[in-house]
C-alpha cells in the first residue's frame, strides 16, 4: 500500500471545496537483527525486504550475496511494522557495532482516520490560533526572495519561520529539507526568540519528521509548497497543527485543523 485517500479542504482563488486526495503512505518499520531491535525507519510500504537488504548493505552489516533470512513479526492493517533478519555472528559486518538509536515517537491515537473533521486526542495540543490564507502566499513570496542558494543552483531546500504578524524571523537553506528546518529552529534558539514562531514554511514536501520538529518547537502552522505524507497528516491532527500542502499558484490544500483559518466556510 503506497497511497491512501485522505480528505482535505482545497482553496483555489475564491473557490473552496472538500476534496479526496491521494497521499503517499509513510509508516514506521522496525528492523530487528537476531531478534534484537536495531532501528526504525520511516518508509513507504512495499518492497520492505529489498529496503532492509539495501540498508544493511549500505550500513556494512550484511554484504553477503546469499539470501538474507527474514521473518515478518508484526503487521498493522496488512502493512509490515516489524521484521526480523537472522545473521550469523561471523557474517555480521562492522557496521552492526555502530548500532542506530531506535526512533522514539508518541503513540498516534488517530493514525488511519482519514476524515477532515476535528479529532479529539489525549495529550496537549498546540494553542489554537486564527489566520487568513491570503497572507500565506505573501509569506512564500518573501521567503523566495531570500533563497539565494536555490537561485544559483536549483538544488537546495528552504525553511522559514514567521511570527503571528507574518514577519519573517529567519530563513535557512540546505540540501536537506530536515536540515533547513533544524537550522531555522536553531537560529531562533540562538536569538532566544523561538517563542515568536507561528508559521513554518518549507519549500518541499512534509513528512512526519518535519511535523514532529514543528511540534517540539511549538509552531502551530506548517505550510508546504509540495505534498504531505499520510503520517504527517495523522500527527498534525494529533498535535494540533494546521498542515497545508500544495501552497502555490494561489492554491492550497488544508489537511488538518482547517478551523485555524478565519476566512473559510463551514467545514
- Sheet bearing 70-76, strands edge to edge: 36-43, 27-33, 79-85, 70-76
Instruction: Tell me what pLDDT residue 143 has.
Output: 93
Question: Would the annotation count 247 as a binding residue?
Answer: yes
Residue bearing the bigger pLDDT, 14 or 183: 183
Q: Which of 131, 113, 111, 119 is nearest to 221 (CA)?
A: 131
**183, part of any domain:** yes
Examine the pLDDT at 183 and tell me if it is beyond 90: no
Assess whether 32 and 117 both reside in one domain: no
**13, part of any domain:** no
The C-alpha cell that represents 42 in the structure block: 520511516
Q: How far apart are CA 184 and CA 196, in angstroms?
A: 12
Examine the pLDDT at 117 and tell me if it is beyond 70: no
- Domain of residue 216 covers 113-260
| Total domains present in the chain | 2
pLDDT digits (tens, 9 = 90+) for 191-200: 888 899 999 9
Instruction: Tell me what pLDDT residue 219 has.
Output: 92
* CATH classification at residue 81: 3.10.20
Assess whether 122 and 177 both reside in one domain: yes
With a pLDDT cut of 70, the percent of the chain lying above it is: 87
* pLDDT range class, residue 264, cuts 50, 70, 90: low
Question: Would the annotation count 249 as a binding residue?
Answer: yes
Contact (Cβ atoms closer than 8 angstroms) between residue 1 and residue 62: no
Q: Whole-prediction pTM value?
A: 0.72
**165, part of any domain:** yes
**170, part of any domain:** yes
Question: Would the annotation count 248 as a binding residue?
Answer: yes
**14, part of any domain:** no
Residues linked to residue 4 through DSSP beta bridges, in sequence order: 23
**175, part of any domain:** yes
Examine the pLDDT at 73 and tell me if it is beyond 80: yes
* pLDDT range class, residue 213, cuts 50, 70, 90: confident
Question: Would the annotation count 183 as a binding residue?
Answer: no
Instruction: Tell me what pLDDT residue 72 has.
Output: 93
* CATH classification at residue 157: 3.40.140.10
| 228 counts as catalytic | no
The one catalytic residue in 108, 111, 228, 242 is: 108
Please give the average per-residue pLDDT across 125-130, as a whole number: 76
Assess whether 39 and 120 both reside in one domain: no
Assess whether 42 and 70 both reside in one domain: yes
Instruction: Tell me what pLDDT residue 221 has.
Output: 94
Assess whether 51 and 152 both reside in one domain: no
pLDDT digits (tens, 9 = 90+) for 227-246: 999 889 988 988 999 999 99
**267, part of any domain:** no
Amino acid at each position: 500500500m503506497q497511497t491512501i485517500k485522505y480528505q482535505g479542504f482545497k482553496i483555489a482563488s475564491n473557490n473552496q471545496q472538500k476534496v479526496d486526495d491521494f497521499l503517499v503512505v509513510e509508516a514506521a518499520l522496525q528492523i530487528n537483527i537476531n531478534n534484537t531491535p536495531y532501528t526504525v525507519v520511516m518508509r513507504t510500504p512495499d518492497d520492505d525486504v529489498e529496503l532492509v537488504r539495501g540498508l544493511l548493505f549500505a550500513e556494512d552489516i550484511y554484504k553477503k550475496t546469499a539470501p538474507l533470512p527474514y521473518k515478518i513479526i508484526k503487521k498493522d492493517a496488512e502493512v509490515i511494522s516489524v521484521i526480523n533478519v537472522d545473521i550469523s555472528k561471523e557474517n555480521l559486518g562492522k557496521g552492526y557495532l555502530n548500532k542506530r538509536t531506535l526512533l522514539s515517537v508518541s503513540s498516534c491515537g488517530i493514525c488511519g482516520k482519514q476524515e477532515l473533521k476535528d479529532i479529539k486526542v489525549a495529550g496537549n495540543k498546540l494553542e489554537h490560533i486564527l489566520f487568513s490564507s491570503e497572507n500565506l502566499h505573501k509569506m512564500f513570496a518573501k521567503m523566495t526572495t531570500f533563497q539565494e542558494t536555490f537561485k544559483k543552483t536549483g538544488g537546495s531546500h528552504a525553511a522559514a519561520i514567521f511570527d503571528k504578524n507574518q514577519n519573517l524571523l529567519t530563513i535557512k537553506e540546505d540540501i536537506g529539507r530536515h536540515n533547513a528546518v533544524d537550522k531555522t529552529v536553531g537560529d531562533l534558539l540562538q536569538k532566544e526568540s523561538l517563542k515568536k514562531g507561528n508559521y513554518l514554511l518549507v519549500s518541499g514536501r512534509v513528512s512526519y519528521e518535519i511535523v514532529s520538529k514543528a511540534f517540539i518547537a511549538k509552531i502551530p502552522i506548517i505550510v508546504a509548497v509540495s505534498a504531505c505524507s499520510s503520517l504527517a497528516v495523522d500527527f498534525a491532527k494529533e498535535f494540533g497543527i494546521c498542515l497545508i500542502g500544495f501552497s502555490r499558484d494561489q492554491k492550497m490544500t488544508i489537511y488538518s485543523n482547517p478551523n485555524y483559518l478565519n476566512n473559510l466556510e463551514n467545514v
